[in-house]
Amino acid sequence: MFSQTRLVWIMLILRPAIFLDRDGVINVDHGYPHKLKYFAFMPDAETAIKRAHHKNIPIFIVTNQGGIGLGYFDITAMRQFHDHMLAQIADAGGHITDIAYCPHHPKSPDPVMRDCDCRKPKPGMILDLARRQVKLADGGADDISNRRITRTRRRHIRPLPIARPVGP
């Protein structure tokens, strides 16, 4: 029987996946984007997502949404923004497999919303998505040590540079 950590490793090794940030990678980042009227894709984002989808590569979004913790918007507004974005991606021929978000922010006025294990660069959202995708049994998640997570990130999750447009 494989441990949960090993199943996450196997998932990432045997089945390539793409983990994308949302703001500034998929959509233009106007500063805590959450209003539908300001939604706009980054150049070529739709095309890249469509190509990956047509190659049967699962695409996941991992996004810090600290605006929730800061009180700028609520989870409902974020979900509406996600639904709108997913509809636009589907209209372009792409598909997002799943989205993980972190609502926390270190400067939140609410102490409960300050510290977490999910805010990037911590690996919590990626590990949560991996567990959900391989449908791991409940329990045992706490026995994955930080050392093993860090080692896993270094060995199997490779960030790729993304060319971003220069200018306004």
The torsion region of residue 24 among left (phi > 0), alpha (psi -120 to 50) and beta comes to: left
* pLDDT score of 95: 97
Which residue type is seen at 32? Y
Residues with catalytic roles: 21, 23
Comparing CA positions, the residue from 126, 153, 155, 149 lying closest to residue 3 is 149
pTM: 0.74
Domain boundaries in the chain?
Answer: 17-126
Per-residue pLDDT tens digits for 5-48: 555 555 555 667 889 999 999 999 999 999 999 999 999 999 99
Class of domain 17-126: alpha beta
